[in-house]
């Protein structure tokens, strides 16, 4: 039937061309990005906890691309499917694809949660992000993903599908039957439940967590910036200058421990609490003391100029702050893109499994509806794989 659909229905042709062209391009781009990510961050992953998450995320994403997208392209382009070569290959490839996608999604959710915690309560986040605790969190995510997908190793089997004479002559001339890696007959009643569970684990739960954490992070960053601008304005510093260290303090006092400076130094930390503007850029797993604190950086002031003692400039190392801001922006970008790209596949699964709006077996009755479904499925899955 594929030859007839390809010749007569434009949606089916678009579905096939997307699998032939877009899949390998997306696989190459994703693989290059994951390799580059691991190569750049692996040497520094011991210094920053966020980098460890990102390195593990790169490994999981590459597993998803290899077991899912590459297999999909090989099947559509060359008719080769690793899952058809044997039952063991069927079990391993299917399990690896589901495990890696679930673990990757949950890990993005954990990273978003950790970043929101670091923005909201920097000192508490720094204490929590010890090396041992970090390993436990990563191990917990991996273990949960393994347990949540281990059922695939027990319910999958090979189904030998026999093609009709017309189909054999049209598309499968080399054989009349081929094995399909699918849920065994005795467990077919679990198909809908497993599809919903996969949608919840991969899409719904991470989407809710990521959206909530990103909204909190963006709101806190905005509040911190406004508060920091007020603090800088109070001591006469100009944040728009090339660097705060190149800006002189506009004050008439000759005492670096003036009431304004003392109040400003203490403004970010009272009763052991540091506000978001003081530590808004503290990295996960990093110390909250030293140059990581924006307030402490700017408070290390030796006033200079005519009539002012000291004669030195403001000491404010900005490299660390800029680096951590880049990490925060990177994490926000990753999680926000996940929100956008994962939503279509979640909606498609809900429409096909729960609502029953789309008939996935329409090939038996309506070729056009079936072609439209296959095109929608291809687009949503390509969006999903673009996350990785």
45-57 tens-digit pLDDT = 776 777 888 899 9
CA distance 68 to 82: 11
Q: Are 242 and 378 in contact (CB under 8 A)?
A: no
pLDDT at 106 over 50: yes
| Per-residue model confidence (pLDDT) at position 182 | 84
pLDDT classification of 112: cutoffs 50, 70, 90: confident
Mean pLDDT of all residues belonging to the chain: 73
Mind listing the pLDDT tens digit for each residue in 62-103? Answer: 999 999 999 999 988 888 888 888 889 999 999 999 999 999
Contact between residue 50 and residue 327 where contact means Cβ atoms under 8 Å apart: yes
Question: Residue 291: pLDDT above 60?
Answer: no
Q: What is the DSSP letter of 283?
A: P
pLDDT computed for residue 275 by the predictor: 45
Distance CA 151, CA 207 (A): 24
Q: Is 299 or 180 the better-scoring residue by pLDDT? A: 180
The residue with greater pLDDT, 303 or 368, is 368
pLDDT of 283 over the 50 cut: no
Q: How confident is the model at residue 294 (pLDDT cuts 50, 70, 90)?
A: very low
Q: What is the pLDDT of residue 307?
A: 39
Q: How many residues does the chain have?
A: 388
| CA dihedral (201, 350, 348, 160) positive or negative | positive
State whether the Cα torsion 66-70-75-80 is positive or negative. negative
Mean pLDDT for the stretch of residues 262-274: 43
Proportion of the chain in helix, strand, coil states, percent, rounded to 5: 70, 5, 25
Strands 156-162 and 177-183: antiparallel
Portion of the chain with pLDDT greater than 90, in percent: 19
Claim: this prediction has a pTM higher than 0.85: no
Instruction: Pick the closest to residue 238 from 250, 223, 253 (CA basis).
Output: 250
Could you tell me the maximum CA-CA distance found in the chain, to the nearest angstrom?
A: 99
| CB 76 within 8 Å of CB 377 | no
Closest C-alpha to 274, from 287, 297, 293, 298:
293
Question: What is the phi/psi pair of residue 150, to 5°?
Answer: -70, -20
How is 84-127 classified by DSSP, letter by letter?
Answer: GS-HHHHHHHHHHHHHHHHHHHHHHHHHHHHHHHHHH-HHHHHH
CATH-assigned architecture of domain 2-217+323-386: Up-down Bundle (1.20)
Q: Regarding predicted confidence, which is higher, 266 or 100?
A: 100
Q: 3-state class of 250 per DSSP?
A: coil
The strand pair at 269-270 and 273-274 is best described as: antiparallel
Partner residues linked to 177 by β-bridges: 162
Q: Select the more confidently predicted residue: 166 or 115.
A: 115
Residue 377 near residue 352 (C-beta atoms within 8 A): no
> pLDDT tens for residues 210-263?
888 888 888 887 887 888 888 878 776 655 555 454 444 444 444 444 444 444
Q: Which two tokens stand for residue 36?
A: 């580059």
| Ranges assigned E (strand) in the chain | 156-162, 177-183, 269-270, 273-274
Q: Read off the pLDDT band of 167 (50, 70, 90).
A: very low
The mean per-residue pLDDT over the stretch 257-284 comes to: 43
23-43 mean pLDDT: 93
Angle, CA of 128, 133 and 135, to the nearest 5°: 145
The model's confidence at residue 141, banded by pLDDT at 50, 70 and 90, is: very high
How far the first Cα of the chain sits from its last, in Å, is 33
Report helix angle 319-349 to 205-235, nearest 10: 150
pLDDT-based confidence at residue 302 (cuts at 50, 70, 90): very low
| pLDDT bracket for residue 140 (50, 70, 90) | very high
- Alpha-carbon dihedral of residues 15, 20, 24, 26, nearest 10 degrees? -20
CA distance 109 to 107: 5
Whether 64 and 134 have beta carbons less than 8 Å apart is answered as: no
pLDDT of residue 271: 44
What does the pLDDT read at residue 38?
92
Give the best-scoring range by mean pLDDT among 213-227, 270-284, 360-374. Answer: 213-227
**Domains of the chain, residue spans:** 2-217+323-386
- Range scoring the smallest mean pLDDT among 89-103, 106-120, 140-154: 106-120
Q: Which residue has the higher pLDDT, 125 or 201?
A: 201
């Amino acid at each position: 039937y594929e030859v007839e659909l390809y010749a007569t229905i434009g949606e089916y042709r678009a579905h096939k061309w997307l699998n032939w062209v877009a899949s390998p391009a997306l696989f190459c781009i994703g693989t290059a990005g994951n390799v580059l990510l691991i190569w750049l961050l692996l040497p520094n992953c011991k210094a920053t906890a966020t980098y460890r998450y990102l390195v593990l995320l790169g490994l999981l994403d590459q597993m998803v691309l290899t077991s899912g997208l590459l297999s999909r392209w090989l099947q559509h382009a060359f008719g080769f499917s690793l899952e058809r070569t044997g039952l063991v290959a069927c079990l391993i490839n299917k399990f690896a694809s589901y495990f890696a996608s679930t673990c990757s999604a949950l890990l993005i959710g954990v990273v978003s949660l950790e970043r929101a915690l670091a923005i909201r309560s920097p000192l508490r986040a720094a204490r929590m992000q010890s090396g041992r605790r970090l390993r436990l969190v990563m191990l917990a995510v991996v273990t949960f993903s393994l347990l949540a997908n281990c059922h695939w190793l027990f319910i999958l089997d090979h189904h030998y599908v026999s093609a009709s004479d017309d189909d054999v002559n049209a598309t499968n001339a080399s054989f009349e039957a081929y094995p399909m890696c699918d849920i065994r007959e005795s467990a077919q009643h679990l198909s809908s439940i497993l599809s919903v569970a996969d949608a919840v684990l991969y899409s719904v739960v991470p989407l809710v967590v990521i959206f909530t954490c990103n909204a909190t992070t963006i709101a806190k960053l905005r509040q911190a910036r406004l508060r920091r601008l007020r603090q800088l304005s109070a001591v006469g510093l100009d944040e728009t200058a090339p660097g705060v260290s190149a800006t002189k303090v506009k004050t008439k006092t000759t005492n670096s421990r003036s009431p304004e400076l003392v109040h400003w130094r203490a403004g970010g930390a009272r009763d052991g609490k540091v506000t978001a503007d003081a530590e808004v850029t503290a990295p996960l797993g990093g110390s909250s003391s030293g140059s990581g604190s924006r307030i402490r950086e700017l408070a290390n002031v030796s006033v200079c100029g005519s009539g002012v003692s000291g004669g030195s400039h403001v000491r404010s190392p900005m490299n660390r702050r800029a680096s951590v801001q880049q990490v925060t922006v990177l994490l926000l970008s990753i999680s926000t893109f996940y929100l956008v790209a994962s939503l279509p596949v979640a909606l498609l699964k809900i429409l096909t499994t729960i609502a029953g709006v789309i008939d996935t077996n329409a090939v038996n009755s309506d070729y056009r509806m079936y072609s439209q479904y296959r095109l929608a499925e291809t687009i949503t899955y390509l969006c999903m794989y673009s996350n990785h």
